[in-house]
Chains A and B, each alone.
Chain A
Amino acid sequence: MPVLEVKGKKLTLDEDGFLQDWEEWDEEVAEALAKDTRFSPQPIELTEDHWVLIRYLREYFLKYGVAPPVRMLVKHMKKTLGKEKGTLEYIYKLFPQGPAKDACRIAGLPKPTGCV
C-alpha cells in the first residue's frame, strides 16, 4: 500500500490515496495529502476557503459516518462564503478532481462507497 510520511510518521493510504485510518488525520496530514501528486495531477495549496469545506466534511463525517450530499456542501458554502462561492463550480475550482476524489481524500475521509 502507498505510504505518506508526515512528521516522521508513516501513514498508510489505499491504492487511490485515501487515508486507511481516518483517526490518523490532523491538519498537517491534510496539508501533506493536498501536496501528494501521486493521486492528483497538481498539488493543492490549501486556502481558508478550502478549510471551510474540509472542516465541514470532517464534522459531518464524525457525526454521521459518511460524507454529506454534495447539495448540502454547496448550501453550506453559500451560507458561509456567500452566494458567489456557493456553487459546485467553485468547489471544483478549489478541488479540481471534485468533492469525492480530492476534498474527501484531503479531509481524511474513507473513499465514498455504495451507489454514490
Chain B
Amino acid sequence: MEILSREIKPEDAASPVDQLVKLTVRDLEKLPPPYDKPGMEPELTDPKPEWKEKYATDLDGYIAIDLPWKPKNKEEEERLIKSFLNGLNKLLTKEGNWTFLQPLLLSLEYCAKCQTCSNACPIYIMSGKQEVYKPTWRAEILRRIWKKYCTPAGKIFGKFVSGDIELNAKTLMRLAESAYRCTLCRRCTQTCPIGVDNGLISHEIRKLFSQEMGIAPKALHELGTVQHLKVGSSTGLTPDGVKDIIEFIEDDIEDKIGKRIKIPVDEKGADILLIHNAGEFLSWPENPAAFAILFEEAGISWTLSSEQVAYDAVNYGVWYDDLQLARIAAKHAEIANKLEVNKIVVGECGHAHKAITVIADRVLHDDIWIPRESCMPILWEIVKKEKINFDPEKNNFPVTLHDPCNMVRLMGVVEPQRKILRKLAPQFREMEPHGVYNYCCGGGSGFAIMQSMNFPEWRNAVATRMKFKQVLEAFKDCLDPSINKYICAPCSNCKGAIRDMLSYYQASERLSIYYGGLVELMVNAMVDLEEPFVEWEFH
C-alpha cells in the first residue's frame, strides 16, 4: 500500500496515494506502567481490501463515515465537488448558517498557525504527533478551499492568496474523515491565544457534509437523530419498551434495597421532568435506579416521560447537524410544557446537557421556552442539606472522576460533582489535569457510539489513549488487582467509551479498574442500604 512517508502538509490532502498515513502501535505515545511493555495492547490492523473500494479509507485507513460514498468515476467526483462548494457557500451566509456564522468566519480569518492548540489536543499528542490529526491541519484545508474558491481575491489570484490546495475527491474524503478524528472537546479552543475555534471548524465540516450532502456516520444520522425522531430513541427503544424497563428497574430496586419505589412516569404537574440518556435504560439501568432512590428519599417532586423522544435526552444533532438538533430540542421542550413541569433536568449525559441547556436557547422561542438544568447541583443539594443519611466509609475504595467535556469545560458545571465525591468518597483523587482542563474520554462527539468496521480500534488506540494514561496515573499507588478501583464518569457517552477502553486494554481483568456513574456511588453510601449498591463486575 502506498502512503506518504514524509511530513504531511495541508495540500497533501489532495495526494493520489492510497492512504496519507498508516499507524502502528510503536508510533503512538507510550503509556505508563504496566502498559509500557510490548504486547500489552493489540496491534493495529489494516482496513479490509473490500472496504477500500466503497468507503473513504484515504486518510489513515480508518472509517468513521460508514456510507459507501467514494465516487466511482469523474462525473461522480465532479458532482461531489460541486455539492461541497454549494454547501460551503451556504455555510458562509447568515441565512444558511444562523447558528455559527460569526465564530466560523473569525476562525477562518485569524489563525496565526502558532500550534498552541495542537499541543493541547489529546489525539494529536497521543497519536505520536501525526500531522493529519493536528487541529490546524483540517482547518487549514478548509481555509484554503474557502479562500481559493469562495473569495473574490482567491478566484483571481488563486494560490497566492493563502497557500494552494487542489480540490478533488481525495481532498474531500480526507477532509470529511478528518472532521471525525476530532472529538469536539474544544481543548484547542480553550488554549488558543486569539480565540480561534478549531473544534467548531470540525463541527462545521461535519455539518456541511451532513446538511448539504447527506454524508454522516449512520450511528449519528440514520440510526441516530432520524431514529430518535421517528421511533422515540436513538437506541430504537419504544414507549412500550421504556415502560417495560422502568418496571424491571422497580423490581430490581426492590431486590436490592428491599423496598419498592414507584417510579413516576408522565405525572402532570411534577416539579421536574428528569430526562435520561436512553442508553442508561438499556446498558446501565442501575443509573436511573439510583436516581429514583435518591429523588424518592430526598422527597423531590419529579417524573420521567414515556412519550416518544422525551425518554431519550440525547441530541446527536449537536455533533453534526443544526437542523436535527433544533428538531429534537424543540420536541423535548414541547413535551415538558405539555406535562406542565417547572423545569427539565438532564441526567448524567454530557452532550445532552449542552444541547438542551445552552444551545437550545437559540431554538426555544417564547411559546415553548422552559427552564433547563443540570442534575449536578440538585444532587449536591441532597448531600449538602443532608436530606439523606450517608456513610462515606461505605465508599472506602479508590475513586477518580472523569469530567465530561460538554458538561465541564463547555458549560462550567465543575464543582458540584467533586464536592459530592469529596464528602462521600474518602479515597477520591483527581486526574491530572482535571476540571475545565480535563481530557476527553475519547468517545466525545459520537465516537463512543460509532461501532462500525475498524473505527472502534482507532478510538480505543488513539482517541481514548490520553484518558487511559490519566486513569493509570490516578491509580498508580493502588494498581494492585486485589484493590477494586472506580472511575466515576457522570455521562453515558463517556461511560461507553470508558467501558470499551477497559475492555480493549483488559484493565478490569488485569488491574481491577471498573467504572460507573455518580449517583450509583451516592446510593452506595446510603446508611439505610444493607447490601452495597455498586457491583464490582465488568458490564
Contact = CB atoms under 8 A, between A and B. Distances in A.
Contact of B224 (A71, A88, A111, A113): A113
Given A15-B452, A66-B241, A115-B448, A88 B279 contact: no
Given A115-B492, A116-B496, 14 more contacts: A64-B238, A65-B237, A65-B238, A66-B241, A68-B245, A88-B539, A114-B236, A114-B279, A114-B312, A115-B234, A115-B235, A115-B283, A115-B314, A116-B279
B241 A115 contact: no
B257 interface: no
A82 interface: no
Contacts, number: 91
A107 B90 CA distance: 45
Interface of B: 51, 66, 219, 223-224, 227, 231, 233-238, 240-241, 244-245, 248, 252, 277-279, 281-283, 285-286, 312, 314, 349, 448-449, 451-453, 492-493, 496, 537-539
A114 B224 contact: yes
Contact of A115 (B252, B279, B452, B539): B279
A113 B237 contact: no
A81 interface: no
Given A113-B449, A115-B493, A115-B496, A69 B281 contact: yes
B235 A114 contact: yes
B241 A114 contact: no
A69 B284 CA distance: 8
B248 A69 contact: yes
B248 A114 contact: no
B282 A64 contact: no
Contacts of B279: 114-116
Given A113-B449, A114-B224, A115-B278, A15 B66 contact: yes
Contacts of B227: 113-114
A112 interface: yes
B51 A113 contact: no
Contacts of B448: 115
Contacts of B312: 114
Nearest to A66: B236
Given A16-B451, A116-B282, A69 B235 contact: no
Given A115-B279, A115-B314, A115-B496, A16 B539 contact: no
B236 A72 contact: no
Contact of A116 (B235, B238, B245): B235
A115 B452 CA distance: 14
Contacts of B278: 114-115
A70 interface: yes
Contacts of B314: 114-115
B236 A65 contact: yes
Of the candidates B244, B279, B282, B314, the one having the most CB atoms from chain A within 10 angstroms of its own CB is B282
B240 A116 contact: no
Contacts of B285: 69, 71
10 contacts: A15-B51, A69-B285, A70-B539, A113-B227, A113-B236, A114-B223, A114-B234, A114-B236, A115-B314, A115-B493
